[in-house]
A and B are shown apart, each in its own frame.
Chain A
Amino acid sequence: MQGCNRSQKIAICTVGLPARGKTYISRKLNRYFNWLGYKSRVFINGNYRREICGTECNSQFFDPHNEEAQKARSDCAKMALQDLIQFLKNGGDVGILDGTNITRERRLQIESDLKQSFNGIQTLWIESICNDSKVIQNNIRLTKINNPDYCNVNSDEATIDFLNRIKMYEQIYETITDDENLSYIKTMNVGADIIVHQVYGFLLSKIVSFIMNLHTYPRPIYLSRHGESQYNVDDRVGGDSDLSELGEMYADKLADFFFKEFPTKEMKNEIIFFTSTMRRAIHTSDVVANKLEIQPLQLKTLDEINVGICDGMTYTEIAQKFPSDFQERKINKLGYRYPRGESYLDLISRIEPVIFEIERSRQPVMIIAHQAILRCLYAYFHQNEIPEVPTLDIPLHCVIKLTPAAYFCDEKRVLINPQTGEISIKEEYVQEFVRSKSKQKSFIDL
């Protein structure tokens, strides 16, 4: 909930062997905090090491007996921590230290440095434990092979070297124990099993709930607005108008699209289908629901942004009747709240339970809703910055298919012509910076 206790600084540090999902968790948490309105940033030990020691480090570099390398790595880790502390001092709310931190000594040093730098800082340690070799192999394949450390090496060699690197770390791995006196969360088996020790406070308990619902299962999320409505035709905002003729045609074509997209009965029954309680969305959803023989859940949380006293007006009328509000909204579309209505920030807060639900689901999700709502949902999964939310392009008669993956989100836009049923597809892959061969020098988060 925005506004609850912003005064306390929070530092989160990961713990775990390589390829245990630490960066994944760090990034997800970072996304979540920024989403909630907290200034959050990830500081990745590995990036500092790459920048300073170069990327030609094979597994020998990680040998705990290699003293010179050890010193270099330790220095890099210190730099990352210092930058984190600086960030918090300069107005940051949450700093996330993404590193292996597998020895007691290292952890206690970090904890002590953090506690000395800030009065009353809350620290949380998140240890990710995984002993399932399939999961580990998959992690390596998905995220390490494209890592700058291996840009000159083929994928088999990379895998072998990486596994050796893990063995180096295993030699000195010490799991967190209670007598270290740290607040910690241990997550095992990709969030199915969690141990929580001395975790108190608003954000910290939210973190546990969030982590519980994370997984790396690549399920698609389909977002579509309702078909064109009467108010759309008249360019009016708000209202609870019904579909126009064109909108009804879209509903039919949309149903056809989904029918083909989920060919078998089992696949159709797996779909998690949400819509709002407004006519235009319900009518669109009903057509889809009938064709697929599934039932949508109508959630008031997905209702379009409430435009208060401007309900039923066109933008021109608003500009004429409430010129100062019109200006205010232009300047700050994100925070501007319609009198007796809502702001985009209110929406972001409102849809949080739906976001949790989507995060949790391992089955395909289908949402038929409204422009402002979908802007918020899209922004969350596509990792857009919050100020961008009110201007994101979510046109009518278009299905957006998002497939969140480890560090990025695949997007595919399916534009459906309501009259002809013709489909044109736009695909876009958000390039994760580590994938591209041309190096970007950035230690801090992405």
Chain B
Amino acid sequence: MQELGKQQKMVIGMVGLPARGKTYISRKICRYLNWMGFKSKVFNIGNYRRQICGTDCNSNFFDPGNKDASKARDECALLALNDMINYLRNEGDVSLYDGTNTTKQRRKLIMETLQQKFSEVQVFWVESICNDEDVILRNIQLTKLNNPDYVGKSSDEATQDFQQRIEQYAKVYEPIDMDENISFIKIIDIGNDIMIYNIQGFLQSKLVSYLMNLHIYPRPIYLSRHGESQYNVVHKVGGDSDLTQTGLMYAKQLGKYFVQELEGSRNIKMFTSTMQRALRTSNEVCELLGVEYYSLKALDEINPGICDGLTYQQIADKFPQDYEERKMNKLTYRYPRGESYLDVISRVEQIIFEIERSRLPVIVIAHQAILRCLYAYFHEHEVPEIPKLNIPLHQVIKLVPAAYYCKETRIKIDPMTGHWEIQDEATIKKVKSFLDL
């Protein structure tokens, strides 16, 4: 139903003092939208300011009384705004304007500029308010100290300066008021209170539902395919085949892994599909863990329609045209009477919400295509890459959400010996991408 949301371009403006999670939220929204098929991009005003004014700005730069600095900062804001509009004019569907935007005057300026230059655009504001000192301090430590603004400074110095910076902003902060006549959502204390005002349209409605499910509890997410199935062995697609002996052994080893990993805790949420191979795997795990699982049709493997039960070779022989089409565009190609990866993404969306919402560790035992979609969402892969992502059998992918990304670990489990091999993905990659925002 993405088409419903594409009827109008959208700008999402963030509002809030520093260290209130604006970048975190805008990145989450951006991730969600891209995954759903809306081309989105975050324009971080801080990055523009760093490029233009340099990174040696201490808190005095942010003093509202500092006329020169204020002028420079306004210019940066407008530059970001222009880039945002160009993006929407060209290939973008949604732009996220990630900045403090803490005064009515600034918000008014943005609304007016957008009206002038791009009147067809919908604007939606997300304000993050937080009064919990501990949360703010944690935010600063997690995300600001690695910030280019503080290269070469000690973490105490940096924290102090940043807190002073916050005070500068606080002097002139005007939370969104209803008489500004704008559509907004205010998130207060990480969702303890939410105010929604003048929501319009399909996409805004979806975003509000999405935002209500976010939190910052760092709970791990475990993804695993079912153990090796009989169809896997003969390279057939589809079907509802059972596990092989090897697959069954993996299931048991997987159970042992979780018992150790979760340290005997039963406070987890486990999801699986309705297909035999996944159910059997889950049954083995659950017996050892002593928990129950939710069996959801939404997690069933991609439906290969008329190709069900054929090997890839047979498909190439019987349906050469389809075979070619799929090779060229594995993402959108829909098996006749079956599904495409895009259909799967759509179907799996509700699971994403469920996982986001959960404050308990989540285990998903499912299938290759399904996990490719889920993994891509959490690990921020581009949608076109999804059909090629590497999700092999007999491996657990452990994702732990950190500040702006997910830390990934892969645990290869040998079904015969039960031996684990732990692979740490390079998370340095992800930190670098924050700077590239």
Contacts and interface: CB of A to CB of B under 8 A. Distances in A.
Given A1-B354, A196-B196, A240-B337, A342 B4 contact: no
Interface string B257-299: 0000000000000000010000000000000000000111110
A197 B202 contact: no
Contacts of B212: 196, 205, 208-209
A193 interface: yes
Interface residues on B, range: 35 or more
Nearest to B296: A1
A52 B334 CA distance: 62
A11 to B, nearest CB: 20
A4 B294 contact: yes
A192 interface: yes
A412 interface: no
B194 to A, nearest CB: 4
A193 B197 contact: yes
26 contacts: A1-B296, A1-B354, A3-B294, A3-B295, A192-B197, A193-B196, A194-B195, A194-B196, A194-B197, A195-B196, A196-B196, A196-B212, A202-B357, A209-B208, A212-B199, A212-B205, A240-B337, A297-B3, A297-B4, A299-B1, A301-B346, A306-B303, A339-B240, A340-B240, A354-B1, A357-B1
A300 B294 contact: no
The 7 A-B pairs with the shortest beta carbon distances in the complex, nearest first, are A196-B194, A194-B196, A209-B209, A193-B197, A205-B212, A195-B195, A197-B193
Contact of B209 (A205, A301, A349, A354): A205
Interface string B4-27: 100000000000000000000000
Interface string A192-219: 1111111100100100110011000000
A198 B295 CA distance: 29
B213 interface: yes
B339 interface: yes
Given A209-B212, A297-B4, A340-B240, A349 B297 contact: yes
Contacts of A205: 209, 212-213, 357
A3 B296 contact: yes
Contacts of B296: 1, 3
Interface string B338-364: 010001001000100010010000000
A263 interface: no
B198 interface: yes
Interface in A271-324: 277, 297, 299-301, 306
Nearest to B340: A300
B105 interface: no
A195 B1 contact: no
Q: In terms of DSSP, what is the predominant structure of the interface of chain B?
A: mixed
Interface of B: 1, 3-4, 178, 192-199, 202, 205, 208-209, 212-213, 240, 274, 294-298, 303, 334, 336-337, 339, 343, 346, 350, 354, 357
A354 B336 CA distance: 23
B27 to A, nearest CB: 21
Nearest to A200: B191
B385 to A, nearest CB: 22
Contacts of A4: 294, 354
Contacts of B208: 209, 212
A175 to B, nearest CB: 15
Contacts of A325: none
Given A197-B193, A208-B212, A300-B346, 11 more contacts: A193-B197, A195-B194, A197-B194, A205-B209, A205-B212, A212-B209, A339-B240, A342-B297, A349-B297, A350-B297, A357-B1
Contacts of B194: 194-197, 199, 208
Contacts of B357: 202, 205
Nearest to B303: A306
B273 to A, nearest CB: 12
A346 B300 CA distance: 12
B199 A198 contact: no
A333 interface: no
Interface in A92-149: none
Nearest to A202: B357
Contacts of A192: 197-199
A360 interface: yes
Interface string A353-390: 11001001000000000000000000000000000000
Interface in A252-271: none
Contact of A196 (B193, B274, B343, B354): B193
Contacts of B205: 209, 212-213, 360
Nearest to A352: B350
Nearest to A193: B197
Nearest to A195: B195
A192 B208 CA distance: 12
Contact of B339 (A199, A300, A340, A354): A300
Contact of B1 (A212, A297, A306): A297
Contact of A193 (B3, B198, B298, B303): B198
B195 A196 contact: yes
B333 to A, nearest CB: 14
A222 B296 CA distance: 31
Contacts of A3: 294-296
A372 B73 CA distance: 59
Interface string A213-256: 10000000000000000000000000010000000000000000
Nearest to A353: B1
A166 B213 CA distance: 37
A277 B332 CA distance: 14
The CB with the most chain B CB atoms within 10 A, among A195, A196, A306, is that of A196
Nearest to A186: B195
Contacts of A342: 297
A300 B343 contact: yes
Contacts of A209: 205, 208-209, 212
